[in-house]
Amino acid sequence: VADQTEPVQRRVALKIIKPGMDTKEVIARFQAEQQALAMMDHPNIARVLDAGVTDTGRPYFVMELVKGTPISDFCDCGRMTMRDRLSLFVAVCHGVQHAHQKGIIHRDLKPSNVLVAEYDDVPVPKIIDFGVAKATQTRLTNHTLFTEFGQVVGTFAYMSPEQAKFNQLDIDTRSDVYSLGVLLYELLTGELPFESARLRKEPLDEILRI
């Protein structure tokens, strides 16, 4: 968190790579999030306000500060009705749709990456953390967005079966739609479709079978 003084005064979220963490992979993921967010302009997606490089050569970007609560916690703590939960979820879907229209797949949609903040007492969900985003447009895939090959990208409990495979080239917007389905299930029932503790214990082949 930092204070911006020019051209306007406001609190912002400053993301910068820590000393010693600036490996090629970390920098690529960092730049992926910066590029993905810079391409989008939607009320349900945290905005990038500025970007650059420090005097020591470390990249950074400044983004909208979202003082929010994970959407599942917000709904449960506020004892929200099904209608209100669905209303928040629809707003999240609009944000994801905007990302897809810009050629961006989030790949890690889950409650902790959807924060709900209140603006004038109105709850507004904001999608954050595009650090593992993938481009659907060929001109972006190899240049601006970091795609890990040979690694599982995302969170098992929310990822689609094809996303859990090592070849990330098969991933498209439907993987985000699957994750949205898991999120909706959790918002409406209070639990995941699959037992998360079991997923953490099982080998990858068994997880894919489940």
Q: Tell me which residue of 110, 172, 167 sits closest to 137, measured CA to CA.
A: 172
Cβ atoms < 10 Å from Cβ of 127:
24
Distance CA 169, CA 89 (A): 28
Catalytic residue among 108, 120, 172, 176: 108
Q: Tell me which residue of 79, 37, 35, 85 sits closest to 187, measured CA to CA.
A: 85
Encode burial over 57-67: b for 16+ CB neighbours within 10 A, e otherwise: ebbbbbbbbbe
- Counts for the chain of helices (H) and strands (E), in that order: 7, 9
| CA geometry: angle 96, 102, 10, nearest 5 deg | 75
Question: In the sheet where 59-64 sits, what is the strand order?
Answer: 2-4, 10-16, 59-64, 48-53
Give catalytic status of residue 41 as yes or no.
no
Distance CA 61, CA 50 (A): 6
Active site (catalytic) residues: 108
